Amino acid sequence: MKRGLFMIVSLALILTFILTACGGGTSAGGVKIDEKAPVTVWIDAARKPAADKYVATHPDKKDMVKFEIVDRGQFAAKVLLFNNSGSGWPDVVFAEAQIVMYNADAAHNFPLDLTPWVDKKIIDAFVPGSLDPCYTSDKKLLCLRNDLAPMVLWYNKPLMDQFGYQVPTTWEDFIALSDQVAKDHPGYVMGSAGSPDVHLFWPSQCPIANEISVAKVQINATDPKCVRVAKMIDHMIGNGTMSKYGQFDPKYIELANNNKILMMEDAAWMGDFVFGGKPDSSYYKTADHQLAAALPLKWKDEDKAYTGAWGGAAWMVSRHTKNPRLAADIAIYMTTDIEVGKLVGTMPAYGPAAEEWKKGMDTNPLYAMNPYDIMKQAAGLVSTAAFTDGVRYSIGEGLKPLTTAIEQDKPVEPTLPDCQKQLQILAEKEGYEVVTTP
């Protein structure tokens, strides 16, 4: 009798599997799976060439896939409207990892767990650490990364050689070098403190965006790991080696045009797209192998270096899609196809595509050496405890007391308690329980 019951259960499970594979079953959103259902994909204008390539290489899907250019900044609000009406959700969306996670809360509940739909070999082939922002605390894979933007230490190699300076490996050495630069080469800067979310806090593991779960976050702006960064900013603005202006402020760009940037910790895409080395580039108008990259700096008491990321988007699939296989295949194609990777322009997140992208830097006259291996290592050092793109509230808005102090030539360390209050208010508005210890 038990054996007979076992066989019945086994046959039922097999039948369920077959029905699912053939288009039966239901999706995560309770929708009946239909592998003939059309799919709508929301993209931005920059993704149009990739969309055109998909259509050209998948003529059999031409009538099943519709690409629409939309403003993803409005996506979260639209999801709530779709949830209320019970229809209208797109099947696939291109967006930053922050937007993915923002729409993963109980109110939005949009992204599909891609784990069953993406082969593990594909997942394992992504650049190490690149998919970390796509995973929830319970190991659901809510997106596939499109491109990466880890922070690295950019430096002007000819200037460093001319001045006889060694590239620092710790933040303590970085601060000490700033004193030497202030004394021996005044007027040269080692970075900017004017970023909207003050990215210098990321490598210190400053806990202002440590998401413990979808509903809980650690925020402690007065933690010693935050205080030491505030002290560094005050010290270096004080000795003149850190600009109070943001990277795209005309006054900072003027420093770059005059070759006064000795080094700066910033995103990987800054090399090609900002330093540039072309007549229309923001920083360098000519290329003479002057730019090099080093690994993110380490605080001496940390077990390793950590860094943050500024940019790097992703593809997510709706849990409401009727055709999860096709939707997931589009996300896979957009992130893993080698030719699409070349269209991205920034560092692809998928390993094989990134290795192919790397070759373009070998002959780029901007670089003193190919920075790809540094970028790849840095991508694996992005700290999830400080990954500000992974939370649903604005870090830039929360740190407004600090950035205002910088603008007004006031010390930033005393503003940390006010930042704590502001960050907590913003997080609680997004439904987080805020704790100061993990």
Tell me what the mean pLDDT of segment 49-53 comes to.
96
- As a dihedral over the C-alpha atoms of residue 217, residue 313, residue 270, residue 211, rounded to 10 degrees, the angle is 10
Q: Which residues have C-beta within 8 Å of that of residue 376, sequence separation ≥ 6?
A: 127, 354
Confidence of residue 214 (pLDDT cuts 50, 70, 90): confident
- pLDDT of residue 340 exceeding 50: yes
pLDDT at residue 28, rounded to an integer:
63
Confidence of residue 21 (pLDDT cuts 50, 70, 90): very low
Q: Are strands 39-43 and 92-96 parallel, antiparallel or unpaired?
A: parallel
> Among 226, 257, 231, which Cα is nearest to 242's?
231
Tell me what the mean pLDDT of segment 187-209 comes to.
89
3-state helix, strand, coil in the chain (%, to 5): 45, 15, 40
- pLDDT of residue 27 exceeding 80: no
Better-predicted residue by pLDDT, 284 or 99: 284
pLDDT at residue 12, rounded to an integer:
42
Confidence of residue 438 (pLDDT cuts 50, 70, 90): confident
Q: What are phi and psi of 257, to 5 degrees?
A: -60, -30
> Among 35, 334, 282, 314, which Cα is nearest to 147's?
314
Tell me what the mean pLDDT of segment 196-203 comes to.
83
Looking at every residue in the chain, the average pLDDT score rounds to 91
pLDDT at residue 8, rounded to an integer:
45
Structure tokens given for 12: 């039922």
Domains belonging to the chain, first-starting first, are 24-148+311-359 (3.40.190.10), 151-306+392-435 (3.40.190.10)
Tell me what the mean pLDDT of segment 190-209 comes to.
88
Confidence of residue 22 (pLDDT cuts 50, 70, 90): very low
Distances (CA, A) of 208 to 135, 159, 348, 434: 19, 35, 28, 10
Tell me if residue 140 falls in helix, strand or coil: coil
Q: Please, are residues 216 and 392 in contact by the beta-carbon 8 Å criterion?
A: no
In the chain, % of residues over pLDDT 90: 78
> Among 312, 316, 310, 315, which Cα is nearest to 386's?
310
Q: Please, are residues 422 and 221 in contact by the beta-carbon 8 Å criterion?
A: no
- pLDDT of residue 128 exceeding 50: yes
pLDDT at residue 388, rounded to an integer:
64
Structure tokens given for 410: 């006031």
Confidence of residue 70 (pLDDT cuts 50, 70, 90): very high
Query: What angle do the packed helices 351-362 and 324-336 form, to 10 degrees?
Result: 20
pLDDT at residue 10, rounded to an integer:
47
- pLDDT of residue 385 exceeding 90: no
Distances (CA, A) of 34 to 54, 228, 261, 368: 21, 55, 56, 53
Tell me what the mean pLDDT of segment 190-212 comes to.
88
Q: Please, are residues 193 and 402 in contact by the beta-carbon 8 Å criterion?
A: no
Tell me what the mean pLDDT of segment 263-268 comes to.
95
For 134-167, b where at least 16 C-beta lie within 10 A, e where not — what string?
bbbeeebbbbbbbbbbbbbbbbbbebbeeeebeb
Q: Please, are residues 248 and 140 in contact by the beta-carbon 8 Å criterion?
A: no
pLDDT at residue 20, rounded to an integer:
45
pLDDT at residue 78, rounded to an integer:
95
Tell me what the mean pLDDT of segment 276-304 comes to.
97
- pLDDT of residue 160 exceeding 70: yes
- pLDDT of residue 15 exceeding 70: no
- At 247, the amino acid letter reads Q
CA distance 259 to 76: 42
The number of beta carbons lying within 10 Å of the beta carbon of residue 349 is 27
